[in-house]
Every structure is written in structure tokens, then in C-alpha cells.
């Protein structure tokens, strides 16, 4: 579907080791979707940008499109045609991610609750167009590691050698290991995990409050940058950080300061998180209207001088 044919309007509307964001970055922030559009994933295909979010209302996987990163953003409806057979009836679909295979197939990744066990697991669906409709792949989830306490927040990364990886968060357990972010190779079909998973980081800092989630990787000239959110998403302390490593397998070293937070953005975004970098822009959500009922989509320009992320 071409951007100009979309008709249903939704809405228009780390740092280089510094303690606060530059003023020009704060003023450059744009609110793109001024209604509930949580856990955003943004991809560029051809001349269009597509954004996907966690379930809202009766829409399983909301999708929007725009001709440019700053919009105007318009909705195309529900990207997921039908729920997978393993998912809990009436349950939601969290933190979607879309990647494109070499044959032109689009693969949608998501987390949902397994009907029988109640555990969160990862699934896939495929489509011939970026905004769907996506049809579920297989009768079982692709990711549901024993001992993880649930797996959520899938995010794909295509390395320079053509290897595709799936990153995701394990929830952890009260008496076991804390929440962590993992990486595992994907098979060429994009719908099967290969080999074993590798832990990239875990929630081991006081400010993280036992939570690291929403991974997103960017490869610069000589480093791998892992963006992630920390603390609980309903907390005023929810924020975005990053860690760096010489290879995707690590070791990742966390930056010594936060990258996006309410304070760093001058209070213009309430708890910015679930950041996704695409085509020179970082997209993220934040609570709208001073409440805790809807999260809108915002954007800032981003660059990587000296392999370090910089806003504005």
C-alpha cells in the first residue's frame, strides 16, 4: 500500500555521556501520534514509514504509515489478520516488530499469552505488504524458554554479514534470575530460532528497579549500541539507556548516564521509553496528558558521532 492512498487519520500532530539533553534536542522533539500507540516499532520500506504498536482496544496490532518520519501519520487499521491458535483468546499482542526477508516477505514478531499456561511467549506472522494483513506462522510460539518467566519485547537485528537475530526480554522470576535481554540467531526463513540464546545485559543497577526491556540495536562504524528501557513502565522513573559492545555477543557495557528521561527532555515527554531507531530518528512513547492511560508516539533526530548516540 502506498502512503498517499491511506485514508484513516490516527493523529498528526547514551547522550554523549552528558548529564542532560541539549536544548536543541528538546525543542526538536515531535509528538507524532497523540493517542494511545504504546511500544512502537518503526520501519522504512521504499518511500513509506510504517509504525506498529501493542494492542489498543479491539485492535490486535495497530499500524500507521507516513511519507516522512515527522508525518503526517495515518492509520491503516489492524496489521494482524487473526490471532495465532496458541494465544489466549481475547488476549493482547505486545511490542510488535517487523522485518523484511530477502524474498520480500514481511515478518511480524509479537508477544502474547499462551492459552494453556498463561506464560508470555513470542510468535510470528507473515504478509506480502508491510502493513499486512499478517497471517500467523505455525501452531506454536517460536520463543518460550524454560526458566525465563516469560519472553516479551521481540526486536530483530540484521547484521552486516546478513545474519538475522532476534532480541527479546526475559521477565525473570521473584526467586530466580532478574529480567534480562537476550539475543538468538534466526533461521533464513525468519520464523525459527537457531542455536542457543546469549544474555546481553541484565537488570543489575539500582535505578533499573529489576527491569530492563524493549531492546533495539544499532551498529555504528565500530560498535554495537543496545538501547533499552528500565524501571517499570508506570513509574515516573521509567527511562531509556544504552550499552555498547565490540560485537553483538558482547560484552555490553552500560553507559554511565541515562539517554532519555522525563527530566532530560525538559518535562516535554512523560517517561520516554521503548525506543526504536530508524533512518536517523529515534522513536519512543510517553504518557499523554499527565495521566497513565495512553502513550503517544514521539520522535527526535539522532546521530552517532564517534560511535556515540547524540540527539538533535
**Predicted confidence pLDDT, tens digits, the chain (312 residues):** 556 444 334 433 333 333 344 555 666 789 999 999 999 999 999 889 999 999 999 999 999 999 999 999 999 899 999 999 999 998 999 999 999 999 999 999 999 999 877 899 999 999 999 999 999 998 999 988 877 889 999 999 999 999 999 999 999 876 678 899 999 999 999 999 999 999 999 999 999 999 999 999 999 999 999 999 999 999 999 999 999 999 999 999 999 999 999 999 999 999 999 999 999 999 999 999 988 999 999 999 999 999 999 998
CATH number at residue 112: 2.115.10.20
266, 286 contact by CB (below 8 A): no
- Full domain range(s) for residue 112: 3-311
CA atoms within 13 A on the CB side of 73: 26
Q: Which residue do the cell numbers 542532560 mark? A: 20
Place of cell 540464546: 197
DSSP H/E element including 68: none
State the cell numbers at 238: 521509567
Query: What per-residue string of b and e applies to 1-34 under the rule 16 or more CB within 10 Å gives b?
Result: eebeebeeebbebbbeeeeebeeebbeebebbbb
Domain count, the chain: 1
Q: Cell numbers of 168, please?
A: 527479546
What is the CA angle 77-71-8, rounded to 5?
30
Three-class SS state of 24 = helix
Burial per residue of 295-305, b for 16 or more beta-carbon CB atoms within 10 angstroms, e otherwise:
bbbbbbbbebe
Under 8 Å between Cβ of 241 and 1: no
The CA distances from residue 20 to 28, 264, 297, in Å, are 15, 5, 22
- Non-local (6+) Cβ contacts of 119 within 8 A are 113, 144, 150
Q: Which segments of the chain does DSSP mark as H helices, in order?
A: 23-28
Amino acid at each position: 500500500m502506498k502512503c498517499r492512498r491511506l485514508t484513516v487519520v490516527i493523529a498528526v500532530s547514551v547522550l554523549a555521556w552528558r548529564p542532560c539533553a541539549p536544548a536543541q534536542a528538546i525543542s526538536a522533539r515531535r509528538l507524532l501520534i497523540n493517542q494511545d500507540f504504546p511500544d512502537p516499532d518503526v520501519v522504512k520500506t521504499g518511500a513509506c514509514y510504517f509504525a506498529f504498536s501493542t494492542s489498543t482496544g479491539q485492535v490486535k496490532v495497530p499500524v500507521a504509515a507516513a511519507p516522512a518520519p515527522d508525518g503526517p501519520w495515518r492509520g491503516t487499521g489492524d496489521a494482524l489478520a487473526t490471532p495465532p491458535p496458541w494465544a489466549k483468546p481475547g488476549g493482547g499482542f505486545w511490542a510488535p516488530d517487523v522485518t523484511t526477508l530477502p524474498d520480500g516477505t514481511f515478518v511480524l514478531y509479537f508477544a502474547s499469552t499462551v492459552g494453556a499456561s498463561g506464560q508470555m511467549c513470542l510468535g510470528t506472522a507473515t504478509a506480502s505488504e508491510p502493513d499486512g494483513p499478517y497471517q500467523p506462522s505455525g501452531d506454536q510460539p517460536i520463543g518460550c524458554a524454560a526458566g525465563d518467566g516469560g519472553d516479551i519485547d521481540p526486536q530483530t537485528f540484521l547484521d552486516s554479514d546478513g545474519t538475522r537475530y532476534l532480541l527479546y526480554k526475559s521477565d525473570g522470576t521473584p526467586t530466580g534470575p532478574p529480567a534480562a535481554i537476550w539475543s538468538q540467531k534466526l533461521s533464513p526463513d525468519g520464523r525459527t530460532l537457531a542455536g542457543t540464546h546469549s544474555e546481553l545485559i541484565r537488570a543489575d543497577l539500582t535505578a533499573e528497579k529489576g527491569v530492563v526491556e524493549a531492546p533495539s540495536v544499532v551498529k555504528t562504524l565500530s560498535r554495537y549500541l543496545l538501547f533499552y528501557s528500565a524501571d517499570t513502565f508506570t513509574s515516573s522513573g521509567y527511562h531509556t539507556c544504552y550499552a555498547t559492545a565490540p560485537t553483538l555477543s558482547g560484552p555490553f557495557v552500560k553507559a554511565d548516564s541515562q539517554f532519555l528521561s522525563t527530566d532530560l527532555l525538559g518535562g516535554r515527554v512523560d517517561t520516554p521509553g521503548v525506543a526504536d531507531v530508524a533512518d536517523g530518528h529515534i522513536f519512543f512513547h510517553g504518557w499523554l496528558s499527565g495521566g497513565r492511560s495512553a502513550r503517544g508516539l514521539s520522535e527526535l533526530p539522532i546521530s552517532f558521532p564517534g560511535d556515540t548516540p547524540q540527539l538533535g
